[in-house]
């Protein structure tokens, strides 16, 4: 009877979020995700909702999965302030096709060796406390600019001999654009805030929104109900300087907590080395630091979270399986589009040098000569060279369209013969 009473008291302490858990970055219902999923988001100060461009999106913002054209697996492990508590996660992302992605993520928080005792010296027994959270995520590319996502969650909590389950769901949305100038120019306020020099350095803007526990998991341990709170999270991120620099901002608000602010940034050195840092105000203003090392399809991420009790260290290992042929072709096409946009940015708004003018006129009139003589294919080749010097030239583009129409007519005539 003594043991039971002591165990009941311990259970109530944990469920009511007193010192047993609240010292360690939040003991409220559903706070298991606060401890971090993946070393990369942790190194960015927990900033990820607006970024959502890696496998950790399975648990943090499922909508972002749609832009990931690969299959991948990731694992993470870290011990806490004492060796009896550990936090781990494993994620698997599967690329169904260009538009549909699914992911499975399992998060586990476990503390062993909890003492049931009547006095400080009298240890009657020990037991463990385990929380398991399973995410089944799905995302679909609905339009070129909109990616919705949904996550089904299964929660399992076990303390001593008590075991409980709960089911819940999250919804999310994600969008990104590389048409930065169009996005900013439509509004006179944003046009005034962001000067042209700044706009041309931004390669991508992405925005994410996630509503967690739309259908809240509810678990019951020893007649005590624990309901996961409705939580709103949103973020925005900027990739700049040819995607070598990333900065993101997230905000988060749940029914049981104050507004949270997360800020994170990283510098990318040729996809081989990434340096990260971030800060958030979850309990106190808490800085973090991280490193990412890429070796082909293999990625190692490390994060250090500075805490007033003790700094926490965690590591993630991820592996990307080779993409399918379609995905590889699409990636190449996207890269070509980005390269063309870069060329336009460089030439737009500036005058051609005398040498560039001469080269442009040479290719332009050379193409015109071929066109008059009926050599439409050669004409198109020459005009393409002219466009590399002066992208978007209306006359050249119009002649290319005309040459293509003539070429089609020519081929039709040959078939009839």
DSSP designation for 374: T
| Predicted structure pTM score | 0.68
Name the pLDDT band for 255 (thresholds 50, 70, 90). Answer: confident
pLDDT band at 392 (very low <50, low <70, confident <90, very high): confident
Return the minimum-mean-pLDDT range out of 40-49, 59-68, 74-83, 279-288: 74-83
Terminal Cα-to-Cα distance of the chain (whole angstroms): 101
Residue 416 confidence (pLDDT):
73
Residues contacting residue 286 through CB under 8 Å, at least 6 positions apart: 45, 279, 280, 305, 306, 307
pLDDT at 326: 54
Please provide residue 39's backbone torsions phi and psi, each rounded to the nearest 5 degrees.
-70, -25
Structure tokens at 154: 């299964």
User: Residue 10's pLDDT band (boundaries 50, 70, 90)?
Assistant: very low
In this model, does residue 11 exceed pLDDT 70? no
Answer yes or no: is pLDDT of 29 > 70: no
Is residue 5 classed exposed, middle or buried when 0-12, 13-18 and 19+ CB atoms within 10 A define those classes? Answer: exposed
What is the predicted pLDDT for the residue at 76? 94
Higher pLDDT: 124 or 43? It is 43
Retrieve residue 267's tokens: 């510098």
Residue 344 has pLDDT above 80, yes or no: no
Has residue 249 got a pLDDT over 90? Answer: yes
Place of tokens 């089904």: 152
Q: How far apart are CA 244 and CA 359, in angstroms?
A: 33
In this prediction, residue 9 has a pLDDT band, given cuts at 50, 70 and 90, of: very low
Q: Which has more confidence, 152 or 321?
A: 152
Average pLDDT, the chain: 80
Residue 316 pLDDT greater than 80, yes or no: yes
The average pLDDT across 317-332 equals 68
Residue 26 has pLDDT above 50, yes or no: no
Supply 23's token pair.
Answer: 């010292």
Q: Which two tokens stand for residue 22?
A: 């609240």
pLDDT of residue 31: 64
Please give the pLDDT value at position 39.
Answer: 92
In whole angstroms, what is the distance from residue 107 CA to residue 283 CA?
22
Q: Report the range out of 96-105, 188-197, 314-323 with the highest average pLDDT.
A: 96-105
- Is beta strand 100-117 parallel, antiparallel or unpaired with respect to 123-140? antiparallel
Please spell the DSSP secondary structure of 268-281, one letter per residue: EETTTEEEEEEEE-
Would you call 186 exposed, middle or buried from its count of C-beta atoms within 10 A (0-12, 13-18, 19+)? exposed
Indicate whether 121 pLDDT > 70.
no
Tell whether the model's pLDDT for residue 66 goes beyond 60. yes
CA–CA gap between residue 173 and residue 207 (Å, rounded) = 8
pLDDT for position 3: 39
Percent of the chain scored above 90 by pLDDT?
35
> For the segment 200-212, what is each residue's pLDDT rounded down to a tens digit?
678 888 999 999 9
Q: Is the pLDDT of residue 290 over 50?
A: yes
d(CA 204, CA 186): 17
The partner residues of 168 in beta bridges, in order of sequence, read 153
CA-nearest of 247, 224, 249 to 14 is 224
Which of 103-117, 157-171, 220-234, 343-357 is predicted with the least confidence, judged by mean pLDDT? 343-357
What is the rounded average pLDDT of the residues 31-55?
A: 86
């Amino acid at each position: 009877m003594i043991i039971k009473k002591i165990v009941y008291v311990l259970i109530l302490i944990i469920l009511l979020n007193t010192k047993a858990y609240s010292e360690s970055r939040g003991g409220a219902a559903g706070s298991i995700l606060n401890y971090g999923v993946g070393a990369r988001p942790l190194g960015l100060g927990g900033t990820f909702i607006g970024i959502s461009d890696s496998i950790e999106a399975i648990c943090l913002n499922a909508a972002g999965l749609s832009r990931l054209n690969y299959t991948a697996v990731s694992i993470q492990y870290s011990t806490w302030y004492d060796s009896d508590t550990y936090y781990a996660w494993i994620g698997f992302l599967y690329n169904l096709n260009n538009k549909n992605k699914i992911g499975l993520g399992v998060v586990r928080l476990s503390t062993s060796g909890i003492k049931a005792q009547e006095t400080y010296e009298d240890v009657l027994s020990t037991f463990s406390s385990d929380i398991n959270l399973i995410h089944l995520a799905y995302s679909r590319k609905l339009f070129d600019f909109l990616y919705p996502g949904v996550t089904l969650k299964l929660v399992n909590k076990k303390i001593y001999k008590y075991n409980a389950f709960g089911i819940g769901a999250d919804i999310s949305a994600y969008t990104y654009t590389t048409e930065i100038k169009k996005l900013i120019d439509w509004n006179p306020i944003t046009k005034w805030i962001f000067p042209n020099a700044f706009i041309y350095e931004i390669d991508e803007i992405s925005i994410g929104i996630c509503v967690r526990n739309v259908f809240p998991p509810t678990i019951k341990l020893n007649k005590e109900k624990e309901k996961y709170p409705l939580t709103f999270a949103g973020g925005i991120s900027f990739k700049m300087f040819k995607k070598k620099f990333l900065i993101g901002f997230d905000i988060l608000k749940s029914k049981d907590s104050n507004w949270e602010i997360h800020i994170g940034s990283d510098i990318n050195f040729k996809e081989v080395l990434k340096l990260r840092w971030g800060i958030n105000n979850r309990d106190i203003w808490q800085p973090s630091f991280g490193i990412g090392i890429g070796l082909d399809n293999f990625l190692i991420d490390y994060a250090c979270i500075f805490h007033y009790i003790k700094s926490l260290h965690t590591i993630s290992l991820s592996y990307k399986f080779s993409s399918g042929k379609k995905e590889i072709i699409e990636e190449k096409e996207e890269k070509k589009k980005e390269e063309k946009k870069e060329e336009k940015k460089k030439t737009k708004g500036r005058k051609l040098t005398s040498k560039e003018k001469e080269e442009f006129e040479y290719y332009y009139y050379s193409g015109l000569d071929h066109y008059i003589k009926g050599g439409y294919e050669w004409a198109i080749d020459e005009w393409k060279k002219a466009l590399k010097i002066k992208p978007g030239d209306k006359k050249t583009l119009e002649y290319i369209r005309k040459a293509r129409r003539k070429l089609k007519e020519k081929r039709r005539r040959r078939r009839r013969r």
